């Protein structure tokens, strides 16, 4: 599951990795194993999940709050462009204007060669919120790929990989 996330980043230098909704930290563990020296920032809304992750990975930077705090968190830490941004957020986090702003912010902070990856349970892909999220990714990124279904994951999942962040902001329908 984690392999496509890691392969999508083309960062030539030490990456600043952002993980939105790290939960219990299964992706964090795989990322740390792959790139032990990475600079890492997690953003987790749920206090119990944040406690669990902090005790599992003491010393790893974790912002306790909503993913919509990403811009502020990066500014406070003086972090430059980031790559990759990895998300296990549920589709609810992308609903409405908050979701549009979140995807816009991710694109704005991502390095030009960076990748945003969104893990999603397969069955949610064809629901109206899932389709909306896909459309929103296509508005703010030049390229959006969807992986084959990862059957060994329970429940089965797919990974969206969005690259070529659009510097000038969202595309309109007419641009596509």
Site for ligand SAM, rule CB under 6 A: 20-27, 43-46, 49, 66-67, 88-90, 93
Q: Strand order in 85-87's β-sheet? A: 61-64, 39-44, 16-20, 85-87, 115-121, 157-165, 141-146
Distance CA 142, CA 138 (A): 7
16 vs 70, beta carbon nearer ligand SAM = 70
Residues 68, 106: contact at Cβ < 8 Å? no
Q: Which is nearer to ligand SAM, 150 or 166 (CB)?
A: 150
- Residue 33 CA to residue 96 CA, distance in Å, equals 36
Give the tokens for residue 153: 């994951």
User: Is residue 58 classed as helix, strand or coil in its secondary structure?
Assistant: coil
Closest separation in Å from C-beta 156 to ligand SAM = 14
Taking the least distance from each CB to ligand SAM, the nearer of 55 and 172 is 55
Q: How far is the CB of 24 from ligand SAM (least distance, A)?
A: 4
The least CB distance from residue 30 to ligand SAM, in Å, is 9
User: Closest approach of Cβ 68 to ligand SAM, in Å?
Assistant: 7
Looking at the Cβ atoms of 84 and 88, the one nearer to ligand SAM is 88
- HSE (side-chain half, CA atoms, 13 Å) at 64: 9
Q: How far is the CB of 131 from ligand SAM (least distance, A)?
A: 19
Q: Which is nearer to ligand SAM, 26 or 127 (CB)?
A: 26
């Amino acid at each position: 599951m984690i392999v496509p996330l890691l392969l999508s980043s083309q960062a030539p230098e030490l990456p600043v990795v952002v993980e939105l909704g790290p939960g219990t930290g299964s992706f964090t563990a795989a990322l740390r194993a792959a790139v032990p020296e990475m600079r890492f920032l997690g953003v987790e809304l749920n206090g119990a999940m944040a406690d669990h992750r902090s005790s599992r990975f003491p010393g790893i930077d974790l912002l306790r709050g909503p993913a919509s705090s990403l811009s502020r968190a990066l500014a406070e830490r003086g972090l430059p462009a980031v790559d990759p941004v990895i998300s296990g957020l549920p589709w609810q986090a992308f609903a409405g204007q908050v979701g549009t702003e979140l995807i816009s912010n991710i694109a704005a902070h991502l390095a030009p060669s960076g990748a945003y990856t969104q893990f999603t349970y397969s069955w949610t892909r064809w629901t109206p919120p899932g389709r909306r999220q896909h459309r929103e990714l296509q508005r703010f990124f030049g390229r959006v790929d969807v992986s084959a279904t990862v059957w060994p994951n329970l429940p089965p999942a797919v990974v969206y990989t969005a690259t070529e962040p659009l510097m000038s902001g969202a595309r309109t329908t007419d641009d596509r």
